[in-house]
Each structure stands twice: as structure tokens, then as C-alpha cells.
Amino acid sequence: MARIVQKYGGTSVGTVERIKHVANRIAESFTQGNDLVIVVSAMGKSTDTLVEMAQALTENPNKREMDMLLTTGEQVTIALLTMALLERGIDAISYTGWQAGIETDTQHGNAQIQDINTTKIEAALHQNQVVIVAGFQGISQDSQITTLGRGGSDTTAVALAAALQAKRCEIYTDVTGVFTTDPRFVKAARKLHSISYDEMLEMAHLGAGVLHPRAVEFAKNYDVPLVVASSMVEEEGTIIEEVVSVEKGLVVRGIAFENDVTKVSVVGLPNEMNTLARLFSTLSRHFINVDIIVQNETDSEHVTISFTVTQSTLTDTISALEKAQMELNYENIEYESGLAKVSIVGSGMVSNPGVAAQMFDVLANEAISIKMVSTSEIKVSTVISEDDMVIAVEALHEAFQLAEEVAHEVL
């Protein structure tokens, strides 16, 4: 008997018929003798519908009340799925995030899991019940309902797998695994048999929408094997773990990309030792996530610091900077929207010099201007015009031969 956590995304439970299909899959796994904890998202686009309803009432919805509103989506799914299992003769019970013991910090809309009290879940499993848990939600230290941000159901599933010491965590979605890039944009994209935590973490942070970055972090920190597979078809998925089979000669494993990137430049900051600390402390206090950072010295007394944020946080970013203008002592703020970030990822880049040069050469041949660059041991990211994003991804995918099946894998 194995203890397994399964997560089903919104598309997988988007209709009553799909919920029935998921219930059949769960029933089959349960009858094989597995202890099962199931994490589900809200049905289909129901979360988007709730957001639209709130925005029809106010341009700036209260964050606490948004959490109260959005968590109802998952509550619908857990109840329906539990009913479907009971109809099949499978003893099951549904829990909201707070009933399941998921404790978070107090940040509404993007809370972090602090602890999980597994007492209720363990008791239900001991009674041979399938436990259905609402993803994406928890309860804060001051007893407020919170949400974990977009994709937070992945995080819920992996965190539960770690807390329950599950054998593995299976993430079921509308794709059959992790691909070399998004197959919706690049038809030649190929499914990977396996990928390391580090590579997947980079891909997730850089825009690959298959898994939430915090879910991968939990999996890596607690050594939880992940499987990403389709809930629609019976097909082998992608394994995400620390030690993976290495595709011989494949330096770059994948290409990630995201649009709606905005470059913000704070011009005329004083050229002092603590300028960077003061600037990014200001943004941190307003919970603004910053990505690529570049500093340019304009003269001996002034610097310009540029960084990227998502388009959705631009207003909050500008507001936070303007409120702190006297403290930061800058001249003005400039920003450029309509940008995208395209990144190549692969652990093989560590021991293969010249990969970045090849990437820049490919983009130059496509007459694509690079506005910013960021690197790590296993990735190179470039900020380019959003209009050039798909062209860049297709060219890089071809240049690094990611569509080609490797001759064999070294295990």
C-alpha cells in the first residue's frame, strides 16, 4: 500500500462529466490499496468569473474579501467530487484548506504555508477514507481565510505530500507532461521523460505554467517525487526528482517564456553604498516581486537602476516608488511595457561554455533586440519585445535541437 497525493487542476474538473471521470480514476487507484489524498482546484474558469464579478463592483477589491470570495470555488469542487466517490461506493470526505490544517501567514492573495496540522487527514486515512482537500487556500495565524496565489493548488498538493510523507505527488492537468517548451506555441515541442528539481524550478519561475514555483521548491526541499501527467488520457507523464536520467548531449533541456513584462527604470539615484538596499527594501515592504535587475552608473554621483515586474504590479510599483521619492532621492521614473522574457534552461550549461553566445547569435540572426539579460548556472534569460517572443522561442528551440529525439538515455 502506498500513500499518494493527487492533484487535479481546474480543466480536469471543469464539468460534471469530467468530475465523474476523475472519480473513476481515483476509485481505480483506491481499489489497488493506496491511501489517497486528493487536492482539487476550482472548476474550469470559475475563479476568473468570481474575479470579474468583484471587479464589476469595485476597481480595487478588498484583499481579505477577495480571499473569502475566491475560496468558494474550490469548496464547490471538493463537495461534488466527494459526492461522486460516495456514489461509487468509495468512502470519502471533503475538507477545506483550513479544515485540513493548512496554516499560512497573513498575506491575503499570496499567502505562504507555514505549517500543516495533519491530525484530521491522518484520522480519515486511518478509517480508510479518501480525503478530498481544497487547494489554493488555508487559514492564517489570526484565523483569517487566505489564498496562496495563482497555481496555489500545486503548492497545497506538494506541501501535503511532504507533511504526510507520501510516496509521491501526482499532478494531473490538461497536458501529458513537461515539454521542452509550450506546445501551444511551438508544435515541435517534445515531452521530457524526466527533469531535475532545479531545472523545473527555473522553468516554473521563468514562465512555464505547468507547475507553480513554490510547489517545486517544496518538492525539492522535502525530496517529494513529482509526476506530471494528463487526467484526460492514459499516458506516461514526466518525472521530476533530484537524480534524473540524462539525455546524452542535451545541454539545454527547455525554453520558458512569459509576456506582460514591464521594465521599470529609477533614474538619478544617488551613487551610494546603500542605494540598492533602500530601493528594494521599499518595494519589498509593498510585496512587489522584482525579477531582472541592472544598474548603470550615469556619472560619479548618480546611477540608474532598472528592473522588471509583471504588468499587473506596475501600478503598485509606481505608487510605492512615488511615496518614497524623498527617501530614495531619485530624479524620475521611466517604464516600458509590452515586453517578454525568453529563457533557455539546462543543467548541462554548467560544463558547456558558449551557450549564451549561441543564444545571442540566434536572436541576432532574427533581428531581435535584447533589452536586458540575466544568467545563472543553468539558465540565460533575455528581455525582448513581446512582438518577437514566439519567433525567438521557435528559433531557439530549433537551434538547440530540442525537437529531436535523443539516441538513448544514460541512466
Collapsing DSSP to helix, strand or coil, 409 comes out as: strand
Q: Looking up cell 489524498, which residue turns up?
A: 37
pLDDT of residue 1: 74
| pLDDT on residue 159 | 96
| DSSP codes of every residue in 246-304 | EETT----EEEEEEEEEEEEEEEEE--TTHHHHHHHHHHHTT-----EEEEE-SSSEEE
> Residues 79, 88: contact at Cβ < 8 Å?
no
Helix (H/G/I), strand (E/B), else coil: 180? coil
CATH number (1.20.140.10, 3.30.530.20, 3.40.1160.10, 3.10.180.10) of 3-174 reads 3.40.1160.10
pLDDT in tens, 155-166: 999 999 999 999
The per-residue pLDDT for range 194-233, each reduced to its tens digit, is: 999 999 999 988 888 788 888 999 999 999 999 999 998 8
Domain ranges, ordered by start, for the chain: 3-174, 245-411
What does the mean pLDDT of the chain come to? Answer: 93
Distance separating alpha carbons of residues 178 and 194, to the nearest angstrom: 8
Alpha carbon distance 192, 226 (integer Å): 13
Residue 124, classified by CB atoms within 10 Å of its CB into exposed (0-12), middle (13-18) or buried (19+), is: buried
pLDDT of residue 407: 41
Position with higher pLDDT, 1 vs 107: 107
Work out whether strand 102-104 and strand 3-8 pair parallel, antiparallel, or are unpaired.
unpaired
Give the pLDDT score at 409: 41
| Contact assessment for residue 393 and residue 255, using Cβ atoms and an 8 Å cutoff | yes
Name the one residue in this structure whose C-alpha cell is 560619479: 300
DSSP helix/strand/coil, 327 = helix
Is the pLDDT score of 411 beyond 50? no
Kind and range of the H or E run holding 339 = strand 332-345
Amino acid 408: pLDDT: 37
- Please give the grid coordinates belonging to residue 380: 540565460
Q: Which residue has cell 513529482?
A: 226
| pLDDT, tens digit, 9 for 90 and up, residues 301-327 | 999 999 999 999 999 999 999 999 999
Q: If you average pLDDT over residues 26-52, what whole number do you get?
A: 95
CA distance 127 to 35: 10
Angle between helix axes 275-285 and 314-323 (nearest 10 degrees) is 120
Q: Vertex 229, ends 225 and 232: CA angle to 5°?
A: 150
Answer yes or no: are the C-beta atoms of 74 and 134 closer than 8 Å: yes
pLDDT confidence of residue 6: 98
Pick the CATH number of 245-411 from 3.30.2130.10, 3.65.10.10, 2.60.40.420, 1.10.630.10: 3.30.2130.10
270-286 mean pLDDT? 95
Confidence at residue 50, expressed as pLDDT on a 0 to 100 scale: 96
The C-alpha cell that represents 286 in the structure block:
509593498
Query: Which pLDDT score, from 0 to 100, does residue 244 have?
Result: 61
